[in-house]
Amino acid sequence: MTDDDSHVWGTVGASLKKSAHSMQMIGIGCLMIGGMKTLSLIGLVLFSLHSMSSPVSAETEGLTLEPIRVGNPEFDSSGHGCQLTGTGSADAQYWSPKEHDVADSEWFDGEVAALGSRGDCAVSLNLSGEAIASGATYRVGFGIARWGPDTSKILVSIADEDERLLATSAAIEAGLWTRQFVDLEIPSNIKVSGPCTLVFRTIENKNAARESATLIDKVSLARISADEPGFQSIFNGKNLDGWIGNTEGYGVEGGAIRTFPKRSGGNLYTSGTYDDFVFRFAFKVPPGANNGIAVRSPATGDAAYQGMELQVLDNSHPNYAGLKPWQFHGSIYGIAPALRGYQSPPGSWNLQEIRAEGRRIRIILNGAVISDVDLDEATREGTLSGREHPGLARDSGHLGFCGHGDLVYFKDLRVRPIFRPESKP
């Protein structure tokens, strides 16, 4: 987000935060279970207010997440690629927030999968081809929430075509809408048979009220692997050697570059320039934080217009409820929006990859492709911001961070150049 948008937030107060939280609670309280529309004040009052920590490795250095195509990850009932199964005492079905007058949020939109807590309910999503291999580890991401007064837990598994479970997570307890991640390792001594499925299954609670359920949306799957050869670190983890620009407003803490907004604002750039590249890094934003990634930018001027700025911010914060689609995280500012709902919760580390190759920009967040843009196609009828973006014509420039007065952390920064045919050494 650029500094000239800052006036938008001056009128946003505590009442907006309160109303957004209330809408989230109402959204979970209205659920179609067993063909009966239920609005339960008890369900709202007793709703669990905590979320379990994500059971994944905290290690980020040198790791990459290779996206794997998942059938119907956002549970569109008119689409294909997933199967809902339930028992006589509980249902597994699609549920549409909009049909119940509930506004979409960061963690869910459109339709979601609703798995009744009383019985053995599951949703299975098809995985592409030979996506799963013995000895590999996979990261599963998903939006999850609990509805109703009763405990709601699920297991996440990968199954082969014979419905044999190859790997299963520990029990995951649902709370308020948030994003969770689990790592599933396929034993090296198991032979994977045919196409696989990703399965979310409730842990049966026979004492649960019939209307209690677990809600699932926005599923992602990625293979965890090490960086391929050719990546070069652009941050030594100790100081800002090799960086230019506003070095006063940035510093190093715990092996990460962080902003120091009270000292100074402005942008920090790499001393070197890049044309085509793959840029991988980890970032962490506290609640409500805002920053940006400068791409092919000059070292002066507004990177959002003189180069490109890829948004970095806490999408889930109520202060940003009124943003335009092209202002949310991962979007190319003023040019192209990114998919929402794939961030880790505020205060947690995220893994991101930016691939710039010619006129194509692709962004992978936590193992999900959230943007894949042809710049010429995206601007064929003008920019979404309605302003000129001369920086889009640049084919080379600095990478950098665009400070907007908030605390943000970046670490494990590395780049692999993509050599064009005419420039190969």
3-state secondary structure of 9: helix
Please tell me which residue, 33 or 241, carries the higher pLDDT value. Answer: 241
| Residues above pLDDT 70, as percent of the chain | 83
| Identity of the amino acid at 57 | S
Q: Which residues lie closer than 8 Å to 122 by C-beta, 6 or more apart?
A: 84, 85, 86, 92, 115, 199, 200, 201, 202
Which pLDDT score is estimated for 40? Answer: 32
Please tell me which residue, 223 or 12, carries the higher pLDDT value. Answer: 223
pLDDT digits (tens, 9 = 90+) for 270-323: 999 999 999 999 999 999 999 999 999 999 999 999 999 999 999 999 999 899
Can you tell me the mean pLDDT for 100-124? Answer: 82
Please tell me which residue, 44 or 374, carries the higher pLDDT value. Answer: 374
pLDDT digits (tens, 9 = 90+) for 370-398: 999 999 999 999 999 999 999 999 999 99
Of 154, 94, 106, 129, the residue nearest 320 (C-alpha): 106
Of 207, 31, 42, the residue nearest 119 (C-alpha): 207
Confidence of residue 96 (pLDDT cuts 50, 70, 90): confident
For the chain, the residue count is 425
Q: Which residues lie closer than 8 Å to 142 by C-beta, 6 or more apart?
A: 156, 179, 180, 200, 216, 217, 218, 219, 220
- Helical H segments across 319-408, by residue range: 375-378
Residue 131 CA to residue 20 CA, distance in Å, equals 39
Please tell me which residue, 14 or 152, carries the higher pLDDT value. Answer: 152
Which pLDDT score is estimated for 21? Answer: 35
pLDDT of 24 over the 50 cut: no
Which pLDDT score is estimated for 149? Answer: 81
Integer angstrom CA distances of residue 273 from 298, 342, 399, 425 = 9, 29, 7, 17
What would you measure as the largest C-alpha separation in the chain, in angstroms?
68
Which pLDDT score is estimated for 30? Answer: 35
Confidence of residue 8 (pLDDT cuts 50, 70, 90): very low
Integer angstrom CA distances of residue 254 from 11, 239, 258, 267 = 35, 11, 9, 21
24-30 contacts at long range (C-beta below 8 A, 24 or more positions apart): 24/105, 24/176, 24/177, 26/102, 27/97, 27/100, 27/102, 27/103, 27/105, 27/108, 27/177, 28/145, 28/146, 28/147, 28/176, 28/177, 28/215, 29/147, 30/97, 30/100, 30/101, 30/102
Which residue is associated with the tokens 């001594």? 189
Of 121, 123, 137, 32, the residue nearest 73 (C-alpha): 123
Q: Hey, what are 340's tokens?
A: 């929402």
CB 219 within 8 A of CB 81: no
Which pLDDT score is estimated for 347? Answer: 95
Residue 44 CA to residue 207 CA, distance in Å, equals 18
Can you tell me the mean pLDDT for 251-270? Answer: 93
pLDDT digits (tens, 9 = 90+) for 49-92: 223 334 566 667 788 999 999 999 999 888 889 999 987 667 89
Residue 330 CA to residue 346 CA, distance in Å, equals 15
Confidence of residue 423 (pLDDT cuts 50, 70, 90): low
Domains of the chain in start order, with CATH, are 12-226 (2.60.120.260), 230-423 (2.60.120.560)
Which pLDDT score is estimated for 172? Answer: 95
Which residue is associated with the tokens 């962004």? 363
Which residue is associated with the tokens 């640049």? 394
| Residues above pLDDT 90, as percent of the chain | 66
Distance linking the first and last C-alpha atoms of the chain? 37
CB 297 within 8 A of CB 391: yes
Which pLDDT score is estimated for 371? Answer: 98
Please tell me which residue, 401 or 26, carries the higher pLDDT value. Answer: 401
Please tell me which residue, 49 or 4, carries the higher pLDDT value. Answer: 4
Tally of CA atoms within 13 A in the half-sphere of 166 that contains its CB: 29
Of 387, 366, 326, 269, the residue nearest 64 (C-alpha): 366
Which pLDDT score is estimated for 117? Answer: 85
Q: What are phi and psi of 306, to 5 degrees?
A: -85, -15
- Write the DSSP symbol of residue 145: E
Q: Hey, what are 297's tokens?
A: 């930018």
